[in-house]
Structure 1
């Protein structure tokens, strides 16, 4: 850990938080006028609420991260520019979708292109060189990246839940950079996103006055996926799986359950475990508090996996993370006694 990197991480994080909050205040009248999210089958809110806060989050993250990288890791800025461009493309697509929903096919085509650009920009990373040819691995990573971008979007359906996910994950990634387990430029991007989300958080506090919107959740999913991919490429695949494990489990299990029921998975719904929890008697703050606490546990397990040596210890930590996530999902899926009594 170098003093300059530590100072740079702190500076980028604080600057991103301040800039994000300032941009929200500046843009809020426009978002209230042109980007109202009206309640639908997926919504947890009951009144029209402005969306588009992701514009402030993304802009603050990109400005501060690019500034930090230019000063502390100038050789890495050329590799980050394509990722930033891909994030902006997804933000533009998300902005259109927030105002007037786009058809599924063109939306997916843009997502595949943006994710492919981000994966290519990450460099020559091979996760399974002995098992898969490079083109096949690249295609599978892009497919996984598109799913990750969409699951982050799907999970952004409750006040503060994306903050409760992104803040611990990005803070852990910044810590890994300070520990030397992740390149410094990736750590600056992570802390820039963390700070920008914290700057947005007061406006998304339950009951939210502002939502991220697809303009925010889609590029945030891309940036998070890019950072986790780079962490895996540094030899820390277990940590890269542990950090987003709650989002991965909730979204993927929900998709599989809906497919088994023969439901149209592209349509809005309230089947995610965190949504079922609010129907089962949990308050919004109880749900996001539980998710935040779980993510702190997963971040601690991921940190232990980064510091561990050998194969057995990280494998055991991954099993511990799966058990912790399973406990939370089971708790969310079970109606509280008063709710269960009311349904009987």
Structure 2
């Protein structure tokens, strides 16, 4: 299993790296160029086609990895189809903004596709009536789609935050016997590493909606699968900083009467960047908190209950502390 997992991640990383490098050469100059607005964290030309390398490379490597290991790849069909739908939507949106009234129904449809591969009777969802379990699971996935999309606001943050989170989700899923989706998570992590080379400051390539939307769906779906075997706070822990920053910023915008469907630049990490903290410092701190939380999530199932909850609580406190560190800079 270990050899297959490593090979899957390496293949996805190499595939994403090569695809993005090729697209950078082959696509016409100016195509899929990211506009520079008052919300931008960059002031230099860059193009948003990283997802065109990440998503195909990750899905291809995941299916091949399942074939090599003998895992049932049919379990990937639901989330892979949902990711493909968002991949197509994201490509269109990266060229021309389609607006929230098209995006949201497409996100709901993609979440419904992903849920065809999820057992709603397992884990904490099994405590809910079946219709309610589906609704809650769909809200979680749609929430993650938007969370990862909105948090993709500076160079390398998606590789450091979402990518590292997917690594620990993948390891946790493999340990708990979910080989198919575990390989998918590790393939996505590998692809994000390959993308990260092109996205390092000052980035020439951004992830774009074609990458961030499918990545968010995968993160939400895989978190739900992981929560079938470990407690929910631990399953969410690899994305603790994303969740703290995303939910706290959402609450702040609601308090201020903003339209929460519109793009913005009010996240704590964006505030830190405007206050002069450079991208490398921000993403390194996010990666360290995500790494620590991921380790706590991975190790806590084998610990005595009290110690496990101390580790889980410590991971969440680190994420909250980092949020306030960024928010209180001036």
**One fold, TM greater than 0.5?**
yes
Residue 321 of structure 2 corresponds to residue 321 of structure 1: no
In structure 1, runs of 5+ residues without a counterpart are none
Residue 157 of structure 2 corresponds to residue 195 of structure 1: no
Alignment TM-score, normalising by the size of structure 1: 0.91
**Aligned mates of 1:154, 1:233 — CA distance in 2:** 27
Specify the SS of the correspondent of 1:49: coil
**Aligned mates of 1:270, 1:31 — CA distance in 2:** 29
The Cα offsets for residues 247-304 of structure 1, whole Å up to 9 and x where unpaired, read as 0110111011000011122222211000000112211111011101111111121122
Residue 33 of structure 2 corresponds to residue 73 of structure 1: no
**Aligned mates of 2:308, 2:297 — CA distance in 1:** 8
Partner of 2:30: 33
**Aligned mates of 1:142, 1:79 — CA distance in 2:** 18
CA contact (8 A) 1:31 1:52 kept: no
Residue 94 of structure 2 corresponds to residue 98 of structure 1: yes
Where does 1:78-89 land on structure 2 (aligned, <5 Å)? Answer: 78-89=74-85
CA contact (8 A) 1:86 1:115 kept: yes
Larger Rg, first or second structure (1 or 2): 1
Seen in structure 2, the aligned counterparts of structure 1 residues 49 and 309 have a Cα distance that, compared at 3 Å, is same
Q: CA RMSD in A?
A: 1.7
Partner of 1:304: 299
Query: Shift in Å at residue 309 of structure 1?
Result: 4.4
Query: Shift in Å at residue 182 of structure 1?
Result: 4.2
**Aligned mates of 2:39, 2:53 — CA distance in 1:** 24
Query: Shift in Å at residue 127 of structure 1?
Result: 3.6
- Once the two structures are overlaid, the 10-residue window that deviates more, 312-321 or 198-207, is 312-321
CA contact (8 A) 1:155 1:251 kept: yes
**Aligned mates of 1:307, 1:32 — CA distance in 2:** 52
CA contact (8 A) 2:75 2:180 kept: no
Specify the SS of the correspondent of 2:116: helix
Partner of 1:249: 244
Partner of 2:119: 123
**Aligned mates of 1:313, 1:326 — CA distance in 2:** 20
**Aligned mates of 1:163, 1:130 — CA distance in 2:** 32
Partner of 1:165: 161
Query: Shift in Å at residue 236 of structure 1?
Result: 3.8
Seen in structure 2, the aligned counterparts of structure 1 residues 31 and 107 have a Cα distance that, compared at 3 Å, is farther
Partner of 1:334: 328
**Aligned mates of 1:49, 1:327 — CA distance in 2:** 32
The Cα offsets for residues 177-234 of structure 1, whole Å up to 9 and x where unpaired, read as 44x2241112211111111111111110000010000000000111111111110012
Query: Shift in Å at residue 116 of structure 1?
Result: 1.5
Alignment TM-score, normalising by the size of structure 2: 0.95
CA contact (8 A) 1:12 1:191 kept: yes
Seen in structure 2, the aligned counterparts of structure 1 residues 125 and 24 have a Cα distance that, compared at 3 Å, is farther
**How many pairs align?**
329
Query: Shift in Å at residue 113 of structure 1?
Result: 0.8
Where does 1:206-225 land on structure 2 (aligned, <5 Å)? Answer: 206-225=201-220
Query: Shift in Å at residue 82 of structure 1?
Result: 2.1
In structure 2, runs of 5+ residues without a counterpart are none
The Cα offsets for residues 95-115 of structure 1, whole Å up to 9 and x where unpaired, read as 111111112122100100101
